[in-house]
A and B are shown apart, each in its own frame.
Chain A
Amino acid sequence: KQEVTQIPAALSVPEGENLVLNCSFTDSAIYNLQWFRQDPGKGLTSLLLIQSSQREQTSGRLNASLDKSSGRSTLYIAASQPGDSATYLCAASPWGYQKVTFGTGTKLQVIP
């Protein structure tokens, strides 16, 4: 059974700092790995999706990497801003339908 872990559960950084969020998964046989953002009381917004054949994906100040052999993915946020404050979740998808496993998230606070 796939398990997805995100450590730390919470992170507080000053504005402008570059930061890395971590995601670990136990079963490397994944179809893809996705990063989401969740604002308080809201649903999830997809940020980046990395296919199993890819090593990384970039969107603006965000860069996500995937290392299947070590069971790890990282989300790099450059030049953090207060608007980046949210909970970030990763989700691992196996080769199949609907069986996505979500991590518990890292709550990020960027202090002005």
Chain B
Amino acid sequence: DGGITQSPKYLFRKEGQNVTLSCEQNLNHDAMYWYRQDPGQGLRLIYYSQIVNDFQKGDIAEGYSVSREKKESFPLTVTSAQKNPTAFYLCASSIDVQPQHFGDGTRLSIL
């Protein structure tokens, strides 16, 4: 079945540590996205990529980094510069202009 796989499902970060969230899709979509979801808030865009080797900052990119070396993969690194990383992170992909298919998310917490 085609879809988006996010791993791990739960992740814990220590003070000063960088952590990487994985996102893989087998839908052959060009565009991929990372969103952050906090209780009581709508999804906020962190980064997006329209094509391999290209990505753009979203509304809340500070403290995060991404890469897009392969069409199928769009990993997100939460750096130590992100002071409030506790949230639910969602990866999405699409064939055109807006996110359509979502993964099941990664819940990140601080140790």
Contact = CB atoms under 8 A, between A and B. Distances in A.
Contacts of A4: 42
The range of chain B's interface size is 20 to 34
B14 to A, nearest CB: 23
Contacts of A93: 97-98
Interface stretch (A60-68, A73-81, A98-106): A98-106
A46 interface: yes
A100 B98 contact: yes
A43 B103 contact: yes
Given A4-B42, A89-B42, A100 B99 contact: yes
B95 interface: no
Interface string B80-98: 0000000000101000011
Q: Which of B31, B48, B99, B100 has the most CB of A within 10 A?
A: B99
